[in-house]
Amino acid sequence: MARTATARATVARPSPPTILFVEDVADAREQGSKSLRKHGYVVEEAADGGQAVRRAARRLPDLVVMDLSLPIVDGFEAIRRIRALAGAKRPHMIVLSGQVDARARQLAFEAGCDQFIVKPCEPDDLAGAVRAYFTKRDGQD
């Protein structure tokens, strides 16, 4: 009698969205990243704009949370560089900044940010904004 192999149906689960969290203040970076991980996201961190661009070039994230006041390369320039290297696959860009003046906001949007959140911001509020973006992107409105 011949043995038959039982085929198992495997359902591929989508991998969780990836986020690049860019903040030069270590405590803020760790707290924000921890909150996003708690909500099921894969988070990579960067402490300056140059590091953010290198990480995005290595693995393009689905979303970037970017401070504007960064060493090495500021957030405005890091946004422009990530947008340039991403082409059509550009990640959603959320600026999280204490720079609340209208000029900073205008320059952030001109650089290519999609959303601007003023610091200080509760970690769960940031996670809510991130979740809202992915819900809309994935058509789950």
Q: Return the SS3 of 95.
A: strand
Q: For position 86, what pLDDT does the model report?
A: 85
Q: Are 45 and 35 in contact (CB under 8 A)?
A: no
* Residue 2 falls inside a structural domain: no
- pLDDT single digits (tens) 59-74: 999 999 999 999 999 9
* Residue 6 falls inside a structural domain: no
Domain boundaries, position 98: 18-137
In degrees rounded to 5, what are phi and psi of residue 33?
-65, -40
* Residue 52 falls inside a structural domain: yes
* Distance between CA atoms of residues 77 and 54, nearest Å: 13
- pLDDT single digits (tens) 23-48: 999 999 999 999 999 999 999 999 99
Residue 112: name the closest of 135, 69, 81 by CA.
Answer: 81
Give me the CATH number covering residue 52: 3.40.50.2300
**pLDDT tier at 2 (50, 70, 90 boundaries)?**
low
The label of the residue with tokens 């992915």 reads: 134
* Residue 4 falls inside a structural domain: no
How many residues would you count in the chain? 141
* Residue 9 falls inside a structural domain: no
Outline where 1-141 has alpha helix (H): 26-38, 49-58, 75-86, 102-111, 123-137
- pLDDT single digits (tens) 84-129: 998 888 999 999 999 889 999 999 999 999 999 999 988 889 999 9
Give the global pTM. Answer: 0.87
